[in-house]
Amino acid sequence: MQQTIVVKIGSSSLTSDEGGLNQAKIRFFAAELAQLRRQGYAVLLVTSGAVAAGFREMGYTVRPKLLHEKQASASVGQALLMQAYQAAFGQHEIRVGQILLTRSDFVSRKRIHNAQMTIEELLRHGILPIINENDTVSVDELKFGDNDTLSALVANLVRARRLVIITDTDGLYTADPRKNAGAKRIDRVSEIDEEVYSIAGDSGSMVGTGGMRSKVEAARIAMRGGVPVFVGRVADPGDMLLVVEGTGKGTYFDTSAHNLPMKKQWLGFHSQPHGKVIVDEGAEIALVTRGKSLLPAGVKEVIGDFHPGDVIEVAGPTLRTIGRGVVNYAAWQLQAVRGLSTEEVQKRIDVSRIEVIHRDEWITLSTAVK
Ligand SMILES: Nc1ncnc2c1ncn2[C@@H]1O[C@H](COP(=O)(O)OP(=O)(O)O)[C@@H](O)[C@H]1O
Ligand SMILES: N[C@@H](CCC(=O)OP(=O)(O)O)C(=O)O
């Protein structure tokens, strides 16, 4: 079977701080991806740059900050971006298709299944799918914002052989190399822990958004989905091939030892929580380290309005989010029985399952840093 590589290119690699597309860079990346295809890989491109490409046309002098200004810029810029890719890939006789996704598409299993079918159909016809966030309809609280997370979700969706996140820095350094001349590159990361999160900083450019932090978060999502990740620079002809051969200019993130099945990936990375409960220490240990279900006795506080079957977030006594799961109670029911023993609960209310969250419907996210 043909192996799929998902390549994400950030705004900082396609545009300049003053805005507008760098056509030479687009032509360069098209040539690099064409070469990958000649090697037999199926290629999917996740591209940023719509806002950066469009804001000057809108008359703004710098990348706008307000949502409606960014959305209008993206509307202009997305067309320019696709026009540029179409022309550049056309030089290599590669046809392209546009796919615009929002976070809420991933929340709906049906919608994301449809997107997956479309991607597969395009690939079957030899067409290179070009994906961006659907910026003009995304609302603030549901925005990916940067495309790093989007690229990881896409890579998991198509079970990619590798996710390649191209940026303006050649990998993850021990500190932001723009600010710290002594920073050293980390060539390989096999596990993303607090230390890795703590060294990854914000964007260093005027056009990028997520910085290295969102790339590390994206790497974590892909690694747990079983997709290895490369984060680094592709700037000279042939660099892309070096990346897939394992000698690229950047950092390689290995797949996680704890790959998640699709259902748990959906729970952890796609689902939209409807509320939250805060649990006591005993319940936190039971859930996170002992693989147990959550019982009403361990619930201290109930926040928000949810119904049985909704996904809720769970925080420990320090208020740090430890995971997510499918809840078997409505918020009002749980409010009435929180802290009570199973026997007491059964006397008071009628629920189909006694567990607040069953362990099969639970995912631990305790290393996630928000
Ligand atoms: N530890 C780090 N290692 C490397 N780069 C870092 C680190 N911390 C912060 N950065 C910054 O992240 C930037 C890349 O992210 P970003 O500007 O969002 O790029 P893109 O537009 O490609 O998504 C780099 O230019 C760098 O300044
Ligand atoms: N969807 C937006 C992405 C915004 C952005 O800056 O992302 P990135 O450069 O990946 O940090 C766009 O096309 O402008």
Tokens of 144: 């990916």
Residue to substitute in 11, 21, 203 for testing ligand 1 pocket (most ligand atoms within 8 angstroms of CB): 203
| Angle at alpha carbon of residue 241, lines to 237 and 243, rounded to 5° | 110
pLDDT averaged over the chain? Answer: 91
Contact 148, 214 (CB under 8 A): yes
Cα dihedral 359→363→366→367 (10° resolution): 150
For residue 47, give the ligand 2 atom closest to its CA.
13
- Name which of 111-115, 227-231, 273-277 the model is least confident about: 111-115
- Specify the pLDDT at position 368: 39
Under 8 Å between Cβ of 130 and 78: no
Tell me the binding residues for ATP.
8, 167-168, 209-215
The pick from 9, 46, 48 for probing ligand 2's pocket by mutation, whose C-beta has the most ligand atoms within 8 angstroms, reads 48
Burial zone of 68 (CB within 10 Å; 0-12 exposed, 13-18 middle, 19+ buried):
exposed
Residue range 273-325, pLDDT digits in tens: 999 999 999 999 999 989 999 999 999 999 999 998 899 999 999 999 999 99
Specify the pTM: 0.80
Residues 258, 200, 245, CA angle at the centre, nearest 5°?
A: 60
Which residue's CA is the closest to the ligand 2 atom numbered 3?
48
Q: Note the ligand closest to the C-alpha atom of 204.
A: 1
Q: Whose CA is nearest to atom 23 of ligand 1?
A: 10
What ipTM is given for this predicted complex?
0.95
Q: What domains lie within the chain, and their CATH numbers?
A: 4-263 (3.40.1160.10), 273-364 (2.30.130.10)
> Using an 8 Å Cβ cutoff, are 163 and 152 in contact?
yes
